[in-house]
Amino acid sequence: MENIVQLKKFLDAKVLLYNQPSFIEKDPVSIPHSFIKKQDIEIAGLFAAVLAWGNRTTIINNCKKLMGWMDNSPHDFILHHKDTQLKSFIGFVHRTFNATDLLYFLHFLQHHYRKYDSLEDAFVPGRNYKENSVEQALIHFHHYFFSIEHPQRTRKHISTPERNSACKRINMYLRWMVRKDKNGVDFGIWTKIKPHQLVCPLDVHVARVAERLELIDNDKSNWANALELTNRLKELNPQDPAIYDFALFGIGMAERF
């Protein structure tokens, strides 16, 4: 019990350090923070999360490029663009994400927003979400995202718990959309999923920190460990376990724990 109290005190201090507006500027979350309209935030956030691997400056620059090609009005562009406006997108590449993937994302988003007001409906089609974690929401989104004709190569860019993926980037996206606090990093514009249902984003860096803090017993970045980590974090904060993403990520990046 004493160890848990000390761990909570340590991690809560790190949350206070990193869950600040100053965090936004150099993080991919800065991309959706450029917008006010709910749907623009959703779309910009999805691209920022999906492209969030590699050098953070490159991630942000490539996302800004995409938003510029969408006239910095992504929702309006998704719904009303003409095929001739897609020429700029043909040469896009970020790591293994290329123009083929990008054009499918645009196609899917148009397909979705012609039927629904919010991208939240792509994760939770009903009125509310009653599961203990977002596992079923992620599985639903993956199946729905690829429910229309799509390039096979694009499937690798939307992860799913069904393949034991940690789903780091999509969990990070959900954190952005669902969590809301006075610090203003996360948006809290979705309400069907609640903060206590979020799964903490887990990558190799966070897994390494979590193992050393004895929150998980190995440093593998997979779905089983993402759930295990989240369950341990719920011992510290049952209603908002994903808040510790700030602490674990911050320790791994800034302090080379």
pLDDT tens-digit map of 203-244? 999 999 999 999 999 999 999 999 999 999 999 999 999 999
- At 255 the pLDDT is 60
Count of domains forming the chain:
1
**Ranges in the chain, pLDDT < 50:** 1, 257
Domain range spanning residue 19? Answer: 2-254
- At 99 the pLDDT is 97
- At 257 the pLDDT is 40
Letter string b/e over residues 33-46, b meaning 16 or more CB atoms within 10 A of that residue's CB: bebeebbbbbbbbb
Q: Quick one: DSSP state of residue 116?
A: -
- At 253 the pLDDT is 79
